[in-house]
Amino acid sequence: MSIIVQKYGGTSIGTIEKISSVADKIISEKNKGNDLVVVVSAMSGETNRLLDLAQSIDPDVSGRELDTLVSTGEQVTISLLALTLIKKGYDAISLTGPQAGIITDSVFNKARILSINNSIIKKYLRKGMIVVVAGFQGITKDGDTTTLGRGGSDTSAVAITVALDANECQIYTDVDGVYTTDPRISPGAKKIDRITTEEMLELSSQGSKVLQPRAVEFAGKYDVGIRVLSAFEDGTGTLVKTENGEQMEKAIISGIAFNKDEAQLTIRGVPDQPGIASLILGPIADCNIDVDMIVQNVGEDGLANFTFTVPRNDYKEAKKSLKESSQKLNAKKVEGSDKIVKISMVGVGMRTHAGIASKMFAVLAENKINISMISTSEIKISIVTDEENLDIAVNVLHKAFGLDQ
């Protein structure tokens, strides 16, 4: 008998009718003779509603009490789903993250899972019950409820799969798999039958919204396969699995991701000397602002231009910090834009095929798309351009690398 872990997101269980439909999918899998653990998120919009309530009291709310509040969203859905399964004639039990034995560290609002006491879930599986677990949450060794951050239910599902040594982790979403790019931008986007964990991690990190990067990272670390499926229609979905030699040779580029939630900042005319990057980025880090791409150019006069990207919602604060640093460093000027987009091409085939970057740049040049920043890794090439170029850039690259075939 196989153990299957399924995860359903907020849009899949947003109404009682949708919960009933999800229950039917679960029952169908149960009738195949499999043991079922089902991880669910809060109903669509519920976490935001709870956050709004907290922020109406304190706009800067965070910490223990916020976790205690927002974790209640999943408690509603696990109970409703368990009740629905029982009504349909199947034994089921709902467990919060703490009740399921999910132990985390004490970093409230973005905790990391330390361990899972698998004996709790296994006890109910041995009784033939369908176990419904609240995603996104756990408990510290001191007994405090924690949450795993946005999209944490994906991570919960993968972690439970590892703890139970389950046969497969099925992530049900509002799309029927992973696509070569966003079909809303490129109508020629194709569903990918199989993609490597490494590629999926890059796509997720670069803006693809299908899976959370932490969940994919967890799956890669423990060699767990994830199947991405639609909660609303039948299909085989997309299998995310550790690469093999055969898969590596199939495609040079697997997909194109983009991120519109970035902004670009440049400080011009800073001294070209050791430690300058730390003096620029240190104050940015002190503001708890993440920095993504970084480019430094050095001129003949011994002065450098330093450019980097930050999340768009941190743009104003980062620019203010950079202007303060500019005065201390006697820099010439600070400039920036929050009207940019980062576009990334991803594929393990880049390791064995030359000329990918030059072809990418040539295609963009032919379409008069200017590039302001470039970043590369073994299996990824990212560029920054004006956000008005997004649609045409994605479409011409998608076609040039044969992803629409």
Dist. CA 86–CA 91, nearest whole Å: 6
Same domain, 131 and 50: yes
Dist. CA 290–CA 84, nearest whole Å: 43
Q: What is the pLDDT along the chain (405 residues), one digit of tens a residue?
A: 799 999 999 999 999 999 999 999 999 999 999 999 999 999 999 999 999 999 999 988 889 999 999 999 999 999 999 999 999 999 999 999 999 999 999 999 989 999 999 999 999 999 999 999 999 999 999 999 999 988 899 999 999 999 999 999 999 998 899 999 999 999 999 999 999 999 999 999 888 888 989 999 999 999 999 999 999 888 999 999 987 555 545 568 999 999 999 999 999 999 988 999 999 999 999 988 999 999 998 877 889 999 999 999 899 999 999 999 999 999 999 999 999 999 999 998 888 888 899 999 999 999 999 999 999 988 999 999 999 999 999 999 999 999 988
How many residues in the chain?
A: 405
Classified as helix, coil or strand, 121 is helix
CATH number for the domain including 128?
3.40.1160.10
DSSP secondary structure, 46-86, as one string: HHHHHHHHHHHH-TT--SHHHHHHHTHHHHHHHHHHHHHHH
Same domain, 295 and 350: no
Q: Which residues, including other chains, have CB under 8 Å from residue 225's CB and lie 6 or more apart?
A: 168, 169, 219, 239, 240, 241
Same domain, 357 and 329: no
Same domain, 65 and 141: yes
pLDDT at 245: 52
- Rounded to an integer, what is the distance from CA 320 to the centroid of its chain? 29
CATH number for the domain including 365?
3.30.2130.10
User: Within 13 Å, how many C-alpha atoms sit on residue 326's CB side?
Assistant: 19
CA 356 vs CA 254, 304, 351, 363: distances in Å: 13, 29, 10, 11
Same domain, 15 and 141: yes
Tokens representing 2 are: 């196989």
CA 331 vs CA 219, 268, 334: distances in Å: 45, 6, 8
**Chosen domain end from 155, 174, 193:** 174
**Chosen domain end from 337, 361, 383:** 337
Cβ contact 113:155 at 8 Å: yes
Domain count, the chain: 3
Backbone φ and ψ of 381, nearest 5°: -125, 125
**Chosen domain end from 174, 197, 224:** 174
Please state the pTM of the whole predicted model. Answer: 0.84
Residue 270: inside a domain, yes or no? yes
CA 31 vs CA 25, 83, 90, 91, 214: distances in Å: 10, 18, 10, 13, 32
Classified as helix, coil or strand, 256 is strand
pLDDT at 375: 92
Domain that holds residue 378: 340-400
